[in-house]
Amino acid sequence: MTSLAHRLAAARGDEAAVAAPASALVQAPASAPPGPAPASPADGEHHPSLAERTHAPSAPSPDADGLQRVKARTADALFARIGTRLNDPSLTEAQLHALVREELGTVVEAEPTPLTADERQRLMAEVRDDVLGLGPLQRLLDDDTVSEIMVNGPDMVYVEQHGRLTLSGVRFTSEDQLRRVIERIVTRVGRRIDESSPMVDARLEDGSRVNAVIPPLAFSGSTLTIRKFSRDPLVVDDLLRFGTLTPQMAELLRACVEARLNIIVSGGTGTGKTTLLNVLSSCIPDDERIITIEDAVELQLQQDHVVRLESRPANVEGKGEVTIRDLVRNSLRMRPDRIVVGEVRGETLDMLQAMNTGHDGSLSTVHSNSPRDAVARLETLVLMAGMDLPLRAIREQIASAVDVIVQLSRLRDGTRRITAVTEVQGMEGELVTMQDVFVFDFSAGVDAQGRFLGTPIATGVRPRFAERFEDHGIAVPPGTFDPPVRAARGAW
């Protein structure tokens, strides 16, 4: 069978290219050194990584180069036929997909270059991804093993798989194609990105978090970061299987939510704070009214009685901004049983006051590296909001409002673990007093693969909020707060 390069040449009438002997295309260089034959897949259990599966060769073959030219012509012709109908708000998603399929079929039929059935299917799939999906990123979004996608310009796309970063073989054809993908994402959620507003937070239809930065702020080309969310929201059993928490800790956190304790989930970037917040919110009874407040809607609550609020940036004229602080204040007039804030920042004082004025059982997250740092971070956020309050008054608000801090960390082996569950006990002098209930056992060491062997263990301290469990008739398993039995040789 002749190659696509020959067929392209034939379509152009290039007789010299057609007459070239086929042996010249496949003849190996005489100086190529002999070597062992490559091992077949059956020779071992090697499973190629995403980078190995998708990394393009350093020198593209004539077939690949020819198909790219056909793809570019086809995409241009399709855009010319569809025109403004692509952004017609009166068309449903199903109608738009049907329109693109019909027009794409017409364009491909008119393509003068003969294509095999496989090439035709590949061409239609890639053009459809460019028009309706996210272009070359679509197959990464469809790959369940990829948890995060990081685009550093059109020629460099990194992915996170199983907690590890690798360079994928995905490429954009140009900076313009990358910009089209970014604009398609942000316009779907009513946001904008241009030189006057070169940074934006957005989301995909499945709730995946998106951040984009374009030139002149992004010096090496437009930058796009997508943090994927699971198609099916994770539940407690999933976190137990991952080793994020233990059964005893899971029972304790369930009881804390049911007893309407105010919980702050603390952790660094990418530690799984939003995922844990989703899992904790699944313990809220179905007969309670929940109001969620976020910068970009990410939480996936399973209850029916949920009101989801999202902040809004200012428009081109600098008007119309609605901050999370505005939404927190408004939510107090919406008869909430629970208020769940995706991440507290400038609205920290309003959130603390809500917790102190009858809105028990509220949940939120904050960026910090330890429970003690979380308290300091809350203090700083209140001061940064311009509140001229004495530091002691702020600390008293925190000590009175927050009951439990759950600390998440991302360890060296790429796993995400709960490293502390800490009770906020109150004030002692000028300091907020805290007591660890569970801590991660780093002394267990690591295995041969570098994976941590430790798990969160109880410290043996019975927290004061355990009395709340008894008042609400909530049972926790016996021995939940008991420390592990120390072995005779002195190890846990």
Encoded tokens for 455: 């798990």
* Percent of the chain with pLDDT strictly greater than 70: 79
Residue 202: per-residue pLDDT: 86
> 263 — phi, psi (to 5°)?
-120, 135
Alpha helices, DSSP H, located in 307-370: 324-331, 348-356
Across the chain, mean pLDDT equals: 79
Mean pLDDT for 433-438 is 94
Tokens of 181: 């993908």
Residue 433 pLDDT grade (very low, low, confident, very high; cuts 50, 70, 90): very high
For position 272, what pLDDT does the model report?
Answer: 87
Taking residue 136's Cβ as centre, other Cβ atoms within 10 Å add up to 23
Q: Is the pLDDT of residue 65 over 90?
A: no
- The tens digit of pLDDT for each residue in 277-301 reads 989 998 999 899 999 998 877 788 8
| CATH of the domain spanning 133-231, picked from 3.30.450.90, 1.20.1250.20, 3.50.50.60, 2.60.120.10 | 3.30.450.90
Q: Do 431 and 289 meet the contact criterion of CB atoms below 8 Å apart?
A: no
Q: What is the distance between the alpha carbons of residues 135 and 144, in angstroms, rounded to a whole number?
A: 17
DSSP 8-state secondary structure symbol assigned to residue 197: B
pLDDT, tens digit, 9 for 90 and up, residues 6-43: 554 555 554 444 444 444 434 444 444 444 444 444 44
Instruction: Give me the amino acid identity at 360.
Output: D
Averaged pLDDT for residues 244-261: 92
Listed range (258-262, 460-464, 476-480) with the worst mean pLDDT: 476-480
- Whether the pLDDT of residue 109 is over 90: the answer is no
Instruction: Evaluate the omega torsion of the peptide bond into residue 216 and state whether it is cis, within 30 degrees of 0.
Output: yes
Cα distance between residue 92 and residue 105, in whole Å:
20
What the block records as the tokens of 483 is: 């420390």
- The Cα 422–Cα 434 span in angstroms is 7
Domain ranges of the chain: 1-16+55-132, 133-231, 236-471
Instruction: Tell the CATH topology of 236-471.
Output: Rossmann fold (3.40.50)
In angstroms, the first-to-last Cα distance of the chain is: 68
pLDDT digits (tens, 9 = 90+) for 403-416: 999 999 998 888 89
Q: Which of 62-71, 160-169, 290-299, 329-338 has the lowest mean pLDDT?
A: 62-71
